[in-house]
Chains A and B, each alone.
Chain A
Amino acid sequence: MFEKIKEFASEFFVTGDPLIYGADVGIALTLISIVVVLTYFKRWGWLWREWLTSVDHKKIGIMYIIASLLMLFRGGVDALLMRTQLAMPDMQFLEPEHYNQIFTTHGVIMILFMAMPLMFGLFNIVIPLQIGARDVAYPFLNSLSFWLFFWGAMLFNMSFVIGGSPNAGWLAYPPLSELSHSPGVGQDFYIWGIQISGIGSLMTGINFIVTILKMRAPGMKLMKMPMFTWSTLSSCITIIFAFPILTVTLALLFLDRYLGAHFFTLDGGGNPMMYINLIWMWGHPEVYIVVLPAFGIFSEIVSTFSRKKLFGYKSMVFALMSISFFSFFTWAHHFFTMGSGANVNAFFAITTMIIAIPTGVKVFNWLFTMFRGRISYKSPMLWTMGFIPCFVVGGMTGVLLSVAPADFQFHNSYFLIAHFHQVLIGGVAFGYFAGLYYWWPKMFGFKLNEKLGKWAFWLWNIGFYVCFMPQYFLGLDGMTRRVSSYGWDMGWGPLNLVSTIGGFLMGIGFLFQVWQIAHSIKFMERDTTGDPWNGRTLEWSIPSPAPVYNFATLPQATEQDAWWEEKQRREQGQKPAAQPPLEPIHMPRNSGIPFIKSFCWFVAGFGFVFDWLWIAIPGLAGVAICMLIRSFTYNTDYYIPVDEIKRTEAALRGSV
């Protein structure tokens, strides 16, 4: 009996690597300390009532951001482990098998469990405030989206200590990801972790489209919307067209592995290249999904910190929308080498070049917004200024890659690695950092320390170039991606060492950011104005952090930069328009169902991963029961009485 348990455990838990034992201890200690702290301070009820069951978009946003920063930490550690292994020729730091797992989880985590939730966090915090709404269109669904993401991410991360991590690359190309080549459970963790959180992303897409189209403040025409709202809309439209493809693709891979179907197998008439086409039909739009909101953030910041209206508003809208359209017609540029012939490659090469045009338009719009502006170099603006040159170079190398004949040389080399890190770090990460610094005071009521922020910015920015510029040259020298070691005779040693140093500089930059947050929580002064940056859009017209109902009376927004214009009028001595009398506010009730239902999905996913139907079926039954309970619940909302609104407003505005 004991032998059997021992044998089971040695397969069930990941064993044999000292790094993983260290991580096991770390995870166990963290979990124990969380439980101890919550119990000691009697915070379980608080956690459940105020956070886990909350349908308030501001709290959901904060939870998204916390989760994504933790994932950034894990993805970053993965990156540094890889860079350490590559620092010198013939390094013996990571086993090849372990290296495969790490580059797989690094990619998945950074895109799906770091960039996506950080983006959704900012959507949640900013969009309703920016369009003058009291919540998103479907607050319950919003909470469900978050918890699906959360439990999906947990399932994926669990593979680190239980069962074994996926190791077939971040997009899990078959036949490598098929049962024949990856018999372990790692790929199943991959499928279910992404599937569960992907459903959440899809629902968030629907939620924000409806929120933006139908819940804007009176007077806010589409062409008066703030640019971040526009970018969110274009990103969400891309989500609803792209994510169903991911859902289907992963489901088909699952059927291959679980039921022995032949979609992507080498035998039985399957077609592995079809998977690669399908996954990139989602995957290419996906990179635009994450970068479009970053463009929106930069637009807000450039305008605010230059004290000028955004240059070329209409062309910006047009650029956002055409990017989201063209993003669906470039997917084959990820595999020009498939052999689909000159005509097909020419088509995708040209669409790829076309998509660079609207992106270029935006860059000029930002530059012209800054032109003759009174620029103040606060943290958000620094990241924006760091982004522009970085993204221009990244975009240019993208155009180089789009030249199909040349791509036969660049394909899967470090040139490509350098290119996409340049657009994803320079564009997405810098963008979301900028957004985080910009809206931080709106979330928490205090700014982040500027001095530490400058250190973090320069470490990241310099570290970035030190890390990735050498990789272009390594790529041209013939170093291919996903190699876990290389010999002395290749001559790649020096550039790799430089690159590793750059990676660690960025890592130190991240530590500075953590320090900055901790330091600022302790020492920064409260912002009592609600408008610390002299902002232009509606979110800055209310106190920070915003009260649960956001706006005591719904604002009027008849012009672009409504709050800025209002401030201008007040400065000229005009009295603010008389506020209509307060009325009871209609609010959604908190609900535990999203948390429980997503947990049931997690259980079901876990069961399918190990092929244990006795776990999977109860999990699915739990999901069904949660859905039915919700369907039969009619008491889902309540009213905040006028007295309470008056008290809250007095407390918030009294300190102004």
Chain B
Amino acid sequence: METTFLGRKRKRLEAAHADIGGHSAGGSHDEHHDHESLKTFGFWIFLITDCILFGTLFATYIVLRGNTNGGPTAEELFQMPGVIASTFILLTSSFTSGLAVLSMNRGNVKGLIGWLAVTALLGASFITLEITEFVHMVQAENATIGTSAFLSAFYTLVGTHGLHVSLGLVWMVALMIQLARHGITAVTKRKVNVISLYWHFLDVVWIFVFTIVYMMGVM
């Protein structure tokens, strides 16, 4: 499992060396396995960079959130019921992506594709809610990205998260097609593991968005 991966990094590192050392002896199966674990490791590092990216956006938001320029404030704008609903939808989708990985580990392609589809649907409804929220803010409240520094930072932070989720959706659909074509192989397995990592990561980021932007906004 990927969660134990970091903890046992040292051990894995040595194992990976032994693998590379015995590249030829190990034959093509091990080699593939080795390449795939290399890619998963790289994805962890990519997630570090994405953490910094969101960290910078959060810092920007925190600095600017009081600068409402006479426009609407967080308290006036945020409608918590919708936000809480979308939070639960995203949390659930993280759970279903976990179920997808469990199906994969049992070798059940249908279950895997099915749970991925459920995850993608939940993700899509999350995005729909977000877009509805944004449209409402812009049209009903006249709160655009150019209204104030607070809103610039708000739309950028929440929108960047939404953009990540949307890209994840496209990626997930592409992956479902590949799974239908190739079944569960070393390559597709790694791809599912990586996208589920990505999905959990976006979930964690959303928890921070929910807390720092919405909860602290209406407090």
Q: Are B145 and A261 in contact (CB under 8 A)?
A: yes
Q: Interface residue tally of chain B, by bracket?
A: 35 or more
The one of A137, A213, A241 in contact with B52, judged by C-beta atoms closer than 8 angstroms, is A241
Q: Are B60 and A274 in contact (CB under 8 A)?
A: yes
Interface pairs A-B: 4 shortest CB-CB: A269-B67, A583-B24, A269-B149, A218-B21
Q: Which residues of A contact B28 (CB under 8 A)?
A: 586
Q: Are A584 and B24 in contact (CB under 8 A)?
A: yes
A487 contacts the other chain (CB 8 A): no
Q: Which residues of A contact B178 (CB under 8 A)?
A: 631-632
Q: Are B13 and A213 in contact (CB under 8 A)?
A: yes
A306 to B182, CA, bound (A): 57
Q: Are A206 and B18 in contact (CB under 8 A)?
A: no
**Which stretch (B35-43, B91-99, B110-118, B199-207) binds chain A?**
B35-43
8 more contacts with CB within 8 A, not counting A218-B21, A241-B48, A271-B67, are A206-B49, A210-B38, A210-B42, A241-B52, A259-B145, A261-B152, A268-B67, A580-B24
Q: Which residues of B contact A641 (CB under 8 A)?
A: none
The one of A249, A252, A554 in contact with B20, judged by C-beta atoms closer than 8 angstroms, is A554
A270 contacts the other chain (CB 8 A): yes
8 A–B contacts from the bound complex (CB under 8 Å): A240-B45, A240-B49, A248-B60, A256-B152, A260-B146, A268-B147, A269-B150, A634-B187
Q: A214-B38, A554-B20 are in contact. Are A249 and B49 (CB under 8 A)?
A: no
Q: Which residues of B contact A263 (CB under 8 A)?
A: 60, 64, 149, 152-153, 156
A431 to B162, CA, bound (A): 44
Q: How far in angstroms is the closest Cβ of chain B from A280?
A: 13
A485 contacts the other chain (CB 8 A): no
Q: Which of A191-250 contact B (CB under 8 A)?
A: 202, 205-207, 209-210, 213-218, 240-241, 243-245, 247-249
A25 to B39, CA, bound (A): 47
- Least CB separation from B177: chain A residue: A632
A19 contacts the other chain (CB 8 A): no
Q: Are B149 and A206 in contact (CB under 8 A)?
A: no
Q: Are A628 and B149 in contact (CB under 8 A)?
A: no
Q: Which of B10-34 contact A (CB under 8 A)?
A: 13, 16-18, 20-21, 23-25, 28, 31
A278 contacts the other chain (CB 8 A): yes
Chain A contact residue count (CB 8 A cutoff): 49
A251 to B45, CA, bound (A): 22
- Least CB separation from B28: chain A residue: A586
Q: A262-B152, A278-B56 are in contact. Are A270 and B67 (CB under 8 A)?
A: yes
A396 contacts the other chain (CB 8 A): no
Q: Are A252 and B69 in contact (CB under 8 A)?
A: no
Q: Are A252 and B156 in contact (CB under 8 A)?
A: yes
Q: Are A255 and B45 in contact (CB under 8 A)?
A: no
Q: Are A210 and B41 in contact (CB under 8 A)?
A: yes
Q: Are A255 and B16 in contact (CB under 8 A)?
A: no
Q: Which of B122-170 contact A (CB under 8 A)?
A: 145-150, 152-153, 155-156, 170
Q: Are A137 and B42 in contact (CB under 8 A)?
A: yes
Q: Are B187 and A206 in contact (CB under 8 A)?
A: no
A260 to B147, CA, bound (A): 9
Binary B-proximity of A72-89 (CB < 8 A = 1, otherwise 0): 000000000000000000
Q: Are B38 and A631 in contact (CB under 8 A)?
A: no
Q: A214-B13, A244-B52, A248-B53 are in contact. Are A262 and B21 (CB under 8 A)?
A: no
A51 contacts the other chain (CB 8 A): no
